Amino acid sequence: MRRRVVITGLGLVTPLGQGKDALWEGLTLPRRVVGPITRFDATGYSTRIAAEVKDFDPTQFMERKDARRAARFIQFAIGATHLALQDAQLAITDANREQVGVLIGSGIGGIDYMDTQVRLLDRHGPDRVSPFLPAMMISDMASGMVSIHFGIKGPNLCAVTACSTGADAIGLATRLIQYGDAEVMLAGGSEAAIEPIGIAGFCAARAMSTRNDDPEHASRPFDAERDGFVMGEGAGVLVLESLEHAQARGARIYAEVLGYGMTADAYHITQPDPEGDGALRAMRKAIHDAGLQPTDIDYINAHGTSTRYNDAKETLAIKRLLGEDAYRVPVSSTKSVTGHLLGAAGAVEAAICVLALQHQTVPPTINYEHHDPECDLDYVPNTARPATLRYVMTNSFGFGGHNSVLVLGQV
């Protein structure tokens, strides 16, 4: 029998602020954080808006010299891990450090550090390039630096599956605990891609909203007038423990990771399968892994990017999963508030599902104003809703055809 895995700590750095309370209050008020890009001069870009993390000071969590050498996604990961350990009231000590592991992914990694160093190379030649570049640009360094910073000596690895990264990190970390490779895992995702080359690339792909004159209403999943996603940034790290370990130390338990499913579309580098087949199979696998039936799901936190194709195909997949029950189950996209955090999205949205279970409330899809015939489910428009929640599901789908789904439940 595999071991049960529970969630005992939440660490969040998001455009809504630091910590779980800032995230939940911002979602349920809701608070609008999408605005003009301030990290660089976006004049001339087709998209000039984003959901930035403001007022983040990495020296709250690490030495100033270490912060100067670290890419922004690493700073976010260390900050979120600090908050998660604090929330879980878990100290890393000589007695437990070999039983604790880290699995923090990033879809893009240190693009800010690489962008800066390429500019130095162009202007001043190779001698000016930082020796820290090879380490700071690779996606696994969030896990590596968290391990070094906190002295964690258990399993240490990284998931990189585009926008499925955060969910896969939690799912794979759960497996490591279930099969005895660790007692505790710090799992999640971190991303900081609001940089000139990052924004330019997604602009060229025509994937982002160009509602530059009305940024607060630009992220509008499932709405008929959606025109692309809004990029966000930040990190989400969850403390996962075996149930026995959590109980032995008297930990507060938020929820249980019940199921994990992952599939591939094997269809297109960016577009989902036109019948929602990969998403459907991932949801079925996660529900089966949880020992549940589709009708047991009380709420779905959708991938819901605000792109025309993704939202329609995810809706189709949910209807194929649930049949007529699809119209009973609330489905919301919290990316309408936070923007799309790319590789961090799945982890932040898993934390949102934990908070939904805790508060027995479904967060809304804001900016939902115009009905789309292809998107006809209950998207919890604009206002949070009290609900009886026992089992919740969160979807994450990524470029390359990755589909990852988690099912969480009350303990």
Q: Same structural domain for residues 124 and 12?
A: yes
Sole residue written with tokens 């209807």:
319
Provide the number of structural domains found in the chain. 2
Among the listed residues 82, 149, 245, 303, the single catalytic one is: 303
Whether 203 is catalytic: no
Note whether 241 and 366 are same-domain residues. no
For residue 171, give the H/E element and its range: helix 165-178
303 is known as an active-site residue: yes
Q: Residue 202 belongs to what H/E stretch?
A: helix 196-204
| pLDDT band at 1; cut points 50, 70, 90 | confident
Please report whether residue 273 resides in a domain. yes
Residue whose structure tokens are 């240190």: 110
Percentage with pLDDT > 70 across the chain: 100
Show which of 215, 248, 281 is a domain's final residue: 248
Of 227, 248, 269, the last residue of a domain is: 248
Residue 129 DSSP class: S
- Same domain for 210 and 300? no
Same domain, 295 and 350: yes
**Could you tell me the CATH number of the domain that includes residue 165?**
3.40.47.10
Q: 333 and 216 share a domain?
A: no
Rounded-to-5 percentages of helix, strand, coil across the chain? 40, 20, 40
From 82, 149, 245, 340, the catalytic residue:
340
Residue of 158, 163, 203, 353 marked active site = 163
- 216 shares a domain with 303: no
240 with 7: CB under 8 angstroms?
yes
3-state secondary structure of 47: coil
Is 254 within the bounds of a domain?
Answer: no
Query: Does residue 137 sit in the same domain as residue 215?
Result: yes
Q: pLDDT tens digits for 92-114? A: 999 999 999 999 999 999 999 99
Reply yes or no on whether 402 is catalytic.
no
Report residue 335's pLDDT band, with 50, 70 and 90 as the boundaries: very high
Q: Are residues 315 and 207 in the same domain?
A: no
User: Does 294 have pLDDT greater than 90?
Assistant: yes
The boundaries of the domain holding residue 110 are 5-248
- Say yes or no: 126 and 182 in one domain: yes
Helix or strand or coil: residue 270?
Answer: coil
407 burial (CB, 10 Å; 0-12 / 13-18 / 19+) is: buried
